Structures are given as structure tokens and as C-alpha cells.
Amino acid sequence: MDVKSQVVVITGAASGIGAALAEAFGDAGARLALADRDHAGVEAVASTLTARGVEARAYPLDVSSRAAWQALAQTTLAELGGARVLINNAGITFLGSFEATPVEDFDRVLAVNLGGVVEGCRAYLPQLREAPAARIVNISSLYGLVGVPGQTAYCASKFAVRGFSGGPARGAARHDRRRDGGSPRRHPHQHHEPGQDRGRWRRGHRREHPRLLRQEDHAPRQSGGAHPPGRAARSAPPAHHPRVRAV
């Protein structure tokens, strides 16, 4: 997939996989809309890329907010043009048993991890339907494949992301669009909100969770990256015959 001069929108871009994807797509010549609730962090990523000659803009975004998503879609359309790729990467987790997890924390995990994907797709689908061979990549997790004790909210949200990615993908296929549910493996990725301790495993605390993107089902497995620039064309089917994958 050639993304040169194309608009790529990435959430959770202040650190971890989001920042790495921003660098990869920037190196491939994409024009980047980088969004994160950690505005200072995503501004730093955008500034670093801009200094290297990449067109990158940073935007504050609470992915759980429908209004914020709609505003972002209109802003990026006005400032950069229509999106070609949307990567829903933002995510948080909470470590603790179901009974011990506060209701507000459980709900917040679902609102960010699932709601963020739903609202991102809702906001950007009108633009993506206008772009040839557009992509939506919804990042899931190994915990979206198997249930894990102490990660009830996170597992529920990631299983739901996989299910959601399958439904809209079938409808979008009529418009020559692809939607991929990515199942991450081993990559240091921040799963916290600004102000939270990073990398903590204590019960009841948000923490970093190792993640690495993987494409599955009909596509060849990748060692990392969500259709990395330069490799996507070799793994993806022709645009006129989109292959639906939900992982």
C-alpha cells in the first residue's frame, strides 16, 4: 500500500505502538494526524517527526467521546484532507478481579477500548468511503483471543473489538474498504492514562501491557506492525476484491 501524501489518522500516538506507527508511516511519506488524550506527549511525537521533514499534526482526543471524534474528523478533513487510513490504537487496562474492580474503572476500560473504536469508525467512515483502497485497523490483543484472570474488563473490551471489526468490515467491503482487527503480541505499549503510573503490575493499578500488532486469518502473519508501509501491498488482496479479517 502506497501511503505517500495520504492522510493517516492514529490514536494513542503519544507513546508505544502508536508512536512507532507514526514513525513508520511518516517515513513512508504519509501525512499524519496523531491523536491522544496525552496532548503534551503526542505534541512531542509530532514535533520530533516534523523536525525530520514529516508532515505531522497533533490533536487532543478522548476516544470515548463521540463529540470529540466528530470534531477531530472535521478538523483533520479541513486541515489535511480526507483520511486514507484510520488506526484505532488507543487503549487502557485495569488489573484486578471482577469483584474488586470499581464499576467506574470497568466502564472506563470499555468506553476507551471498545467505544473508542466504534466512535472512530463512525466519525471517519464517510471520509474513508471516498478514498480508494482505504483501511481501518482496529487494534485488539491476545487477550481478545483468550480470557485471562484479573483482566476481565480488558478481555471483554478486546473480544468485543474483534467482533465489531467483523461486522462493519462486511458492509464496508461493498465500498472497496478493508477493516483489520489486529491482535498484538510482544511490544512495550503504554496502557495508562496521563498522570497514571506506568509499568505497574500491582493489583488495582493500570499498567503497561506488552503488545505487538499481528494480522491473522487469510493474511500472512507479520512479525510486527499493522500493515507496515512497504509490506502491506504484499500481504493485502487487490483493492477490487477486499478480504475481510476480524481477529
Tens of pLDDT, residue by residue over 40-70, are 999 999 999 999 999 999 999 999 999 999 9
**pLDDT tens digits, 66-110:** 999 999 999 999 999 999 999 999 999 989 999 999 999 999 999
Of 22-26, 75-79, 152-156, 194-198, the least confident: 194-198
* φ, ψ of residue 7 in degrees (nearest 5): -85, 125
Q: How many CB atoms lie within 10 A of CB 218?
A: 10
Q: Is 154 a catalytic residue?
A: yes
**pLDDT tens digits, 186-198:** 333 444 444 443 3
pLDDT at 167 over 80: no
> Is the pTM for the entire model greater than 0.75?
no
Task: Please tell me the CATH code under which domain 7-235 is placed.
Answer: 3.40.50.720
Q: 171 Cβ partners below 8 Å, 6+ apart?
A: none
CA separation for the pair 247, 245 (Å, rounded):
6
Q: Per-domain residue ranges for the chain? A: 7-235
Mean pLDDT of the chain: 77
pLDDT at 226 over 70: no
Encode the chain in three state secondary structure: CCCCCCEEEEECCCCHHHHHHHHHHHHCCCEEEEEECCHHHHHHHHHHHHHCCCCEEEEECCCCCHHHHHHHHHHHHHHCCCEEEEEECCCCCCCECCCCCCHHHHHHHHHHHHHHHHHHHHHHHHHHCCCCCCEEEEECCHHHCCCCCCEHHHHHHHHHHHHHHHHHHHHHHHHCCEEEEECCCCCCCCCCCCCCCCCCCCCCCCCCCCCCCCCCCCCCCCCCCCCCCCCHHHHCCCCCCCCCECC
In the chain, % of residues over pLDDT 70: 67
Region 207-229: what's the mean pLDDT?
A: 34
Between the two ends of the chain, the Cα-to-Cα distance in Å is: 21
Q: Which of 59, 124, 143, 154 is catalytic?
A: 154
